[in-house]
Amino acid sequence: MALLAARSSVRSHLVSLLLVLVPVVVVAIPRMLEGDGTLTGAAQIVLRYSLAAVSFLLSTATVWASCLALAGEMEGQQIHLLAVKPVRSWEIWLGKWCGLFALNLVLLILTGVMMWLQLQWLIRRPGITDAERQDVQEEILTARASILPVPDVTPEDVDREIRRLIAAGDLAADIPHEAACAYAGRLLRVRRATVQPGHSRRWLVELPQPVLPRGREGTDAAFSVRFELALYAGDRQPVTGTFSVGEPGQPPFFRASIRRHLRGTYRFGVPIPRGVGEIRRLEIVFTNAERPLSHTAIFRPNRNLEVRVRQGSFEGNLLRALVVLLAYQGVLAALGLTAGTFLSFPVATFAVVGTITAVALVGTLGEEGTHHSGGCVHGEAHPPGRIARLAAGAARAVYRLAAPALHCDVLEPLSEGIAIPATHTAYAWAVLLGGYTTLLAGTGAWVLGRRELALAG
């Protein structure tokens, strides 16, 4: 049955078209888009936008082919040839799905090979300096664990800020507690992300595994620190300061001076001297210089600093990302096949596209965006209307149903050089294939078994 589904796709010239389009997309996208002018930016375009374009192309083809696989055969009555044979309905459904899954597997393998070759050519082309090549290897072509600092905004801090705002008249007393916590927490994060000249900012980082010195004399970077600055457009004075890295309660073993005029994300490598030994906890302190040498440093409120520790190879990271994307294609194939069991081809396609669009919109809004508090920060709070409550309830239901699938994103981690753990890949397969696909398969096989397929006329 899987072979028949594959042959049907080949006869429709879908496979031939995709075999041509996938390499063209991988090669053409980096030449159509302009990055930040650096080799690292060009590598990120290959990984993020090329893979996103291929994923969109495969998703479109999978939805079309899966909706047509059953709905088209029912409308054309070709499926009657199977209905009169001793073949169970679940075998028909599973065979179609396996054929589409195998085609996506082949095309994603081709995508991975083409992307790897594209990156190798990119870093080895003439005119690339050793420093640029080393930066790409350390920043992108190495899988690193991303470790965030210990949160410094506690629930107690938020409660105190809410009481202060209400006492000052800056927050309505009857505003819902969730909205008040979100507003007060955002204010605290912004305030603590701002470092005035002559002041300092401290982060504490708990490392999941001890980090040891690298290199013969401990001169190679054992980990890297990334931070994001946000400067006002009118600021002409640069931010000048010093990052100190060490263990809590001990003198710092590394210092890095910065002088930045522009907003953006910056990084620096941190070597561990041989005499320090393994590191389990880090204390990172940024000290802003005095005026007039420096200006106010404004870090990104939510994710202003992170530590990245080497965890694996780029090839393994790319493989795990492709495996997760394959699971997504399996869900789309199952969704299209199940819709095709009880809807005509155009209606099934419309229903699947509408479902994907609704999930994408709710995923973009996030969990907080599905709540309608009806309140306001200043002044009198107004309760939401009936339509608003119904819309918010429907959005929450869609979000809760699709939330496990929304947490399986791999495009951003791959393009940022963040390691995709094997546990994340296993979770994606368990949720996407073991959960959603199994549920859709049972539904599709049940509906297909109740269809009277082989009746005359």
User: Two tokens at 30?
Assistant: 């980096």
Per-residue confidence (pLDDT) for residue 383, from 0 to 100: 56
**pLDDT score recorded for residue 236:** 63
CA distances from 17 to 14, 61, 115, 297, 355 (A): 5, 10, 19, 52, 26
Residue 376: the pLDDT is 42
Tell me the domain boundaries of the chain: 2-141+313-359+412-450, 155-311
Please tell me the distance from the alpha carbon of residue 10 to that of residue 4, in angstroms, as a whole number.
Answer: 10
Q: Return the closest-CA partner of residue 221 out of 279, 268, 266.
A: 268
What top-level class would CATH report for the domain 155-311? mainly beta
Cα Rg of the chain, angstroms: 27
> What SS3 class is residue 89?
helix
Alpha carbon distances (Å) from 268 to 143, 281, 397? 16, 18, 43
Task: Provide block-wise average pLDDT over 10 residues at a time, the chain (457 residues).
Answer: 53 76 88 79 88 93 89 69 65 88 93 92 86 84 90 89 89 85 90 91 90 64 86 67 93 90 80 82 93 87 88 91 95 93 90 87 60 43 64 73 80 90 92 92 86 51
- φ/ψ bin of 37: left (φ > 0), alpha (ψ from -120 to 50), beta (otherwise): left
Q: What pLDDT score does 384 carry?
A: 59
Q: Which long-range contacts (CB under 8 A, 24 or more apart) does 180-186 make?
A: 182/368, 183/377, 184/158, 185/153, 185/158, 185/161, 186/301
pLDDT at residue 17, rounded to an integer? 85
Q: How far apart are CA 9 and CA 106, in angstroms?
A: 13
Main-chain dihedrals φ then ψ at residue 155, nearest 5 degrees: -60, -35
Please indicate, yes or no, whether the overall pTM of this predicted structure exceeds 0.85: no
Q: Give the pLDDT score at 10.
A: 53
